[in-house]
Amino acid sequence: MLTQTGIPAPISDATAAGTDPLAAFSDRSLLIVDDDKPFSTRLARAMESRGYQVQVADSVAEGLSAVESRAPAFAVIDMRLGDGNGLDVIARLKEQRPEARGVILTGYGNIATAVNAVKLGAFDYLAKPADADEIHGTLMAQPGERADPPENPMSADRVRWEHIQRVYELCGRNVSETARRLNMHRRTLQRILAKRAPR
């Protein structure tokens, strides 16, 4: 099964300074459902450093099983998974634990999908790549309020590079197919793939 990105999004492991917003929550359980294992591993480590008790699943089936076993207080769920749609996990979570806060992550963002995610119970919706600071801020935001923007967001060049890498992986690292889908000249794509990730 292909991961959604060849290079994990940069995730800071440092705990945010100041008071701990999680202090208001007696249950700090967090379920991460994502089939991009390098990303989910790094995100789990970063969220643990922020005080969450993290469980990771890499499929809809595993996510549903985790929710049935013990519905978490928080969830971060990828929209597109190898065996289905992450919205199924969000819907089940809200059935089992209505007050839970679940955030949907996706690299295929559009308004209709965002509205559907919220209707099914998602607390919010973030486009990949999203880092731990942004995810934590979103989980802690007051209902109806947007989280503060990250202090050091990715540059536009880095976001573009991440998107190209994700499509490249989804195309089985086939340069010609990736170039076709991105409507990009093959040689231009090859030059981008040969370079290091921009900051």
**Whether CATH 1.10.10 fits 156-194:** yes
Any idea which residue has 């945010």 for tokens?
A: 16
Which is nearest to 53 in space by CA: 31, 83, 24, 78? 31
Q: Do residues 30 and 52 touch, judged by C-beta distance below 8 A? A: yes
Given a cut of 70, whether residue 86 has pLDDT beyond it is yes
CA–CA gap between residue 97 and residue 73 (Å, rounded): 8
Class of domain 23-140: alpha beta
Q: What percent of the chain stands above pLDDT 70?
A: 74
**What is the per-residue pLDDT across 111-141, written as a single tens digit (0 to 9) for each?**
566 666 777 777 888 877 788 888 998 888 8
Q: Which helix (H) or strand (E) holds 57?
A: strand 53-57
Mean pLDDT of the chain: 79
Which pair of structure tokens corresponds to residue 146?
């947007």
- Let me know: does 115 contact 125? Beta carbons within 8 Å: no
Half-sphere exposure of 59 (CA within 13 A, CB side): 7
**Mean local confidence (pLDDT), 38-65:** 94
* DSSP β-ladder status, 80-81 and 84-85: antiparallel
Could you tell me the residue ranges of all domains in the chain?
23-140, 156-194
